[in-house]
Amino acid sequence: MSDRFIRQERLPQIGTEGQAKLAAARVALVGVGATGSHLAASLGRAGVGRTEKGGLLRLIDRDIVELSNLPRQTLFTTADVESVRPKAEAAAEALEHIDPGLALEPVVEDLVSDNANQLLGDVDLVLDGTDNFTTRMLVNDLCVRDGRPWIYSGVVGTEGQLLVVRSSTACLRCYVPELPAPGTLPTCDTAGVLGSVVSLITSLVATESLKIILKDDDVRDGEVFVVDGWRGDVRTVSLSIDPTCPCCQRQSYEFLNSQSAAMPTELCGRNAIQLPPTGAPVDLESAAKRLAKEGVVTRSRFLVRLDSPDRRLLLFSDGRVIIDNTQSASEARSVRAKLLGD
Ligand SMILES: [Zn+2]
Question: Residue 127, SS3?
Answer: strand
The CATH number given to whatever domain includes residue 304 is: 3.30.310.10
The pLDDT score that the predictor gives to residue 97 is: 97
Report the percent of the chain where pLDDT is more than 70: 95
Q: Residue 276: give the domain boundaries.
A: 264-340
Query: Quick one: 61 and 138 in the same domain?
Result: yes
Query: pLDDT tens-digit profile of 170-210?
Result: 999 999 998 877 666 776 667 788 989 999 999 999 999 99
- Flag whether pLDDT at 334 surpasses 80: yes
Report the side by side order of strands in the sheet with 159-165. Answer: 104-107, 56-60, 26-30, 125-128, 150-156, 159-165, 223-228, 233-238
Query: Quick one: 275 and 305 in the same domain?
Result: yes
- Minimum mean pLDDT among 5-14, 63-72, 217-226: which range? 63-72
Domain boundary among 257, 279, 305: 257
Query: Quick one: 229 and 308 in the same domain?
Result: no
- Minimum mean pLDDT among 30-39, 266-275, 276-285: which range? 266-275
| Rounded alpha-carbon distances, angstroms, from residue 197 to 74, 158, 190 | 13, 6, 17
**Burial of 114 per CB tally in 10 Å (0-12, 13-18, 19+):** middle
Query: Quick one: 125 and 56 in the same domain?
Result: yes
Query: Quick one: 187 and 335 in the same domain?
Result: no
The pLDDT score that the predictor gives to residue 183 is: 65
Average pLDDT over residues 37-65: 97
Query: Quick one: 18 and 58 in the same domain?
Result: yes
Q: Which residues contact 130 (CB under 8 A, 6 or more apart)?
A: 30, 31, 33, 36, 111, 136, 139
Pick the catalytic residue: 143, 174, 188, 245? 188
The pLDDT score that the predictor gives to residue 179 is: 84
- Flag whether pLDDT at 53 surpasses 70: yes
- Flag whether pLDDT at 39 surpasses 70: yes
Domain boundary among 257, 274, 305: 257
Query: Quick one: 124 and 84 in the same domain?
Result: yes
- Flag whether pLDDT at 1 surpasses 60: no
**Burial of 203 per CB tally in 10 Å (0-12, 13-18, 19+):** middle
Query: pLDDT tens-digit profile of 214-267?
Result: 999 999 999 999 999 999 999 999 999 999 999 999 999 999 988 766 678 887
Supply φ then ψ for residue 271, to 5 degrees: 45, 55
Neighbouring-strand partners of residue 109: none
- What's the gap in Å between 144 CA and the centre of ligand 1? 8
Neighbouring-strand partners of residue 254: none
pLDDT band at 342 (very low <50, low <70, confident <90, very high): low
Question: Residue 135, SS3?
Answer: helix
Supply φ then ψ for residue 42, to 5 degrees: -65, -50
- What's the gap in Å between 123 CA and the centre of ligand 1? 21
Average pLDDT over residues 315-331: 89
- Minimum mean pLDDT among 84-98, 109-123, 159-173, 301-315: which range? 301-315
Domain boundary among 230, 257, 284: 257
| Rounded alpha-carbon distances, angstroms, from residue 73 to 35, 86, 97, 213 | 8, 13, 17, 25
- What's the gap in Å between 253 CA and the centre of ligand 1? 11
Overall domain count for the chain: 2
- Minimum mean pLDDT among 99-113, 160-174, 315-329: which range? 315-329
Query: Quick one: 244 and 334 in the same domain?
Result: no
| Rounded alpha-carbon distances, angstroms, from residue 50 to 45, 58, 60, 101, 113 | 11, 11, 17, 6, 28
The pLDDT score that the predictor gives to residue 277 is: 86
Query: Quick one: 218 and 298 in the same domain?
Result: no
- What's the gap in Å between 221 CA and the centre of ligand 1? 13
- Minimum mean pLDDT among 43-47, 171-175, 337-341: which range? 337-341
Task: Tell me if residue 188 is catalytic.
Answer: yes
- What's the gap in Å between 167 CA and the centre of ligand 1? 10
Average pLDDT over residues 143-163: 96
Average pLDDT over residues 63-74: 90
For every residue of 9-38, DSSP letters joined together read HTSTTTHHHHHHHHHH-EEEEE--SHHHHH
Q: CA–CA separation, 205 vs 219, rounded Å?
A: 11
Q: Are 44 and 97 in contact (CB under 8 A)?
A: no
Q: CA–CA separation, 216 vs 286, rounded Å?
A: 53
Query: Quick one: 243 and 324 in the same domain?
Result: no
- What's the gap in Å between 151 CA and the centre of ligand 1? 14
Query: Quick one: 274 and 214 in the same domain?
Result: no
Query: Quick one: 84 and 224 in the same domain?
Result: yes
Q: CA–CA separation, 288 vs 301, rounded Å?
A: 12
Supply φ then ψ for residue 101, to 5 degrees: -80, -5
The pLDDT score that the predictor gives to residue 189 is: 66
pLDDT band at 271 (very low <50, low <70, confident <90, very high): confident
Average pLDDT of the chain, as a whole number:
92
Q: Give the helix ranges, DSSP H, for 214-294.
A: 254-257, 284-291
Average pLDDT over residues 135-161: 96
